Structure formats: structure tokens, C-alpha cells
Amino acid sequence: MSPLLYTYGDDAPIAAPATPLAECALAIIRTSGKNTIPLVASVFSRPRKLLEAPGNTVVHGWILDKNEKIDEVLVSVYRGPRSYTGEDSADISCHGGITTVQGVMRVLHRAGFRDSLPGEFTFRAFMTGKLDLTRAESVMELVSAKTDEARSHAVNRLSGSLEQEVLSIQDQLVQVLAGTEIFLDYSEDEFMGNPGVLDDEAAGRLPDRALAEKALARLRVLAQSYRMERLYHEGALVVIAGRPNAGKSSLFNRLLKEDRSIVTDIPGTTRDWIEGWISIEGIPIRLVDTAGIREAEPGGDIEKLGMERSRELLKDADLVLYVVDGSCPSDTGEGMRFFPDFLPQDPKRILSLRNKIDLCAPEALLEQRAGSFQGISAKTGWGIPELASAIAARLTLACGGKETRGTSSGIGTERQKGLISVAIQSLEAALALADRGEPLDLIAPLLGEGVHALGEITGAVSTADMLEVMFSRFCVGK
């Protein structure tokens, strides 16, 4: 039966490969749900041993299709609620290979398991209270992390750092809202014996205003962290550009630490762009080497097409490394001739580099150190560590600067960012009304909106449609 006929939220026994369906040494098939262990035991060579196995133990045996042995396996037994999903579960470790995994899955289907929906194991972990939504989302961040830094940030969220920060801010807002509603719950007559309270508090002044301002400041820090977290997770597009024979391909190979681009003394060798992924200070970088920028020769249609593709890449780049031939200082002006037409208008998105500095005379070397160009030698590696630091600094600055770098409780998804923005807007509006002396019955609903938005981040407040959309983006087996 098609998985599209099923929906999230039942306790049916489910199964899915948790490792890629490819030739490999080992593969893991995850199972979970009602009667999982008896169902696996029904196709296992040692059913009684499996049925009696305590949680967190491993049993050796064979998966059987009636009397036929399908594969020799290890079955890891997990008893709910002490399992990933909070349900009884079993992980089957079998030999790798497409036909082997398909054979085991075929037997499990006959035993009563259905294919899991995308992210259904993690969905069940959320529904049983094993994970909040921030931890659930961090699972896929961890799976797709491109660098150790990205992995570390995802692990922090999986460990609950973001959940704890959001709950702490939410507690502050609840205190402010509770103090506000106390004044709304009492009639005006009940304040008559307490002069000053009615005028200063009930008539418009926000109780616990200092606490509300602290909550707002913490929310703004979280909002600022998003761009940096996205940088670590998705990476940045860094494009190498410049005139032909400036050493762009040599720089590309040097940063990539392998020979990917062809390097010759003939101008225009690179006619199209080539790319590779690197990591600089934990930031994933999609590094692109482009065709040289110059006036194309008559009949040079291929070269014109290459430069047009370069133009498109430069327009989308987070950072451009503009390379000129620095072997002679007089070449710098000529190297910049096409600068306005091709490069971004924002100078913060451009790092100007004088390559071939190893060929410079000593006096020229001193000159470049005082100029706007950063000197490097792609051939010898001179200046490359400093260039790497400059790249990381520029990208970090563009994403909020060092104040958000290394924040342990940064927000990692667009959903979280949107809800943080809702909470900030609600709280800013509430404080603005309080500044104008508006009544508390106009302020309280805004505070309630902020509390509600923070509840949606952790999943304390959620809708079935929102959950289905979110978990459907996970991979099968998670």
C-alpha cells in the first residue's frame, strides 16, 4: 500500500532503511510501533530469545522468509519509553547491499510493518515527549551538517540549548502577562484603598516592564543569530574573479588543496566556471573559479558565454575574491578596468587580491602592504592563511559580526526565525502602547501573542498541519 495513504500520528508498526540503499559493508533497518518486537520475532530465527530480551540489548540470529534464510543479522532491542521514539523499537543490522536490504524489508512488510513516512520516527519522538520541536529539527541539521562547526551547533540544539533559552524567555513573558492580567481581573473599586496603584499600574503602566524589556533583548539576540547559523549550515558562495592569467585557477586549486582547474600561461584557459566545497574556520564555502574578465576576441562566442555565466555568479556571490596580477604594481589599474561592470556594488562583498606577490621586488611588497589590495602568492602559498582569516571575517561580519558567532542557543530554521519575529513584534507593540499610557486590556493580548509564538517554537503549541509539513521534509528513516 502506498505511504501516501497513511498519515502521521498512529502507532502502527513502521520500518525503513536508516542507511543509504547502496553497496556497503553494513546497513541498518529501523522499526518502531505497536507489537514491533513480536512482529520482528515472527521472522527471526530465535524468536523466544528476542521476545525475552530486555531493552538496550543485542540479539544475534537470522531473518527468515518462512524456511529461507535472508540474512544474518544483529537486532538491537529498545523497550519504550526508553527508546528514540518512546515506543518499543528494534534496529536490524544486516549486511549492506541493495538486494539484502530489499529482502529484509520485504519480509518485514509481510510480517505486518508498513514503510515509514519521511521523518516519522522523529515525529513519534516528539509526540511521546522525547524531543521538543527544536530538538527534532536539529536532527536533520545534524544529518546535513557540512562542517564540524555546523555539527557542533546542531548538537547544541539537539542537547536542548535552544529549547531552554526559549522556555526561559517564555517564562519571563508569562510573568509579565500574569502581572498584567491581575490588574485586569480586579475592579476599579478594589484599588481605591491603595492610592497610586490604579493610576500608575491599572490605568496604563505595564507591570514588570523591566522584565519585558529583558525578554525583548534576549529575543533580539536570538533573531540576530539566525544569519550566522544559516551560514554554518548552508554555507556561502565565494567566487574568484579577475582578468585572464591573474592566477585565479591557481588560487582555486590552492584553497581547494587539489588540482581541479587547469593552470597554464595562456590567457583564457578557463572558459566556464568550476566549483568545489571547502571549509574555512568551520564555515562551509562553495568556491567557484570563473572565466577571466576581458573583452572577448572576435568570434569568441564560447568565451562570451563563459563571461556571462561569470557575471551571474558574481551577482549572487556572498563574497568575491577579485584577483589581479600583482607581479608589477602598474598592472593593478588595468586589472580593475572591468571592476564596475562585473562586481557587486557593495565593497564589503569584495576582497581585492594582488596575486604573484612572490615575483614582486621588495619595494613593491612594502607598497602592497600599505594599499587596499591584500597580497598573496597562489603558487607558493604566501598570504593564504591570512586570506582564509579575511574570508571568514567578511562572511561573519555580513551575518551579524562576532557578537552572534559561537552563540550556543542560536536559531537554526526559518520556522524558528519567523516565530521569534512574531514574538518580537508583539512585545515591541505592547511596550509602545505602554509608553503612550494605553489601557492594559489592549496590551495583554499582545503579550499573549508573544507567549503563544514561543510555545510554537518548542511545540507546546502546534497544529497537525504544521507538524505534517515540517516532518515531511525529513529523510525516510528519521
Q: pLDDT tens, 189-219?
A: 454 445 444 444 444 578 889 999 999 999 9
Task: Give the Cα separation of 261 and 227 in Å (integer).
Answer: 31
Residue corresponding to grid cell 549492506? 96
All cell numbers assigned to 18: 536508516
Angle 284-470-478 (CA atoms, 0-180°, nearest 5)?
70
| Residues 224/135, Cβ–Cβ less than 8 Å | no
* Cα distance between residue 78 and residue 56, in whole Å: 5
Q: Are 237 and 316 in contact (CB under 8 A)?
A: yes
Among candidate residues 255, 274, 245, the one with its CA nearest the CA of residue 383: 255
pLDDT tens digits for 141-176?
A: 988 888 898 999 999 999 999 999 999 999 999 999
The confidence score (pLDDT) of residue 203 equals 43
CA distance 136 to 126: 7
User: Would you say residue 39 has pLDDT above 90?
Assistant: yes
Helix H or strand E segment including 324? strand 319-325
The gap from C-alpha 425 to its chain's centroid, in whole angstroms, comes to 24
pTM: 0.76
Determine the angle formed by the axes of helices 148-158 and 133-143, rounding to 10 degrees.
Answer: 160
**293-319 pLDDT tens trace:** 655 554 455 556 666 777 778 888 899
The per-residue pLDDT for range 378-409, each reduced to its tens digit, is: 888 999 999 999 999 999 988 876 554 545 57
State which amino acid sits at residue 427: L
Residues 43, 57: Cα–Cα separation, whole Å: 18
| Domains of the chain, earliest start first | 3-130 (3.30.1360.120), 161-231+408-459 (1.20.120.430), 237-381 (3.40.50.300)
**Which position has the higher pLDDT, 467 or 458?**
458
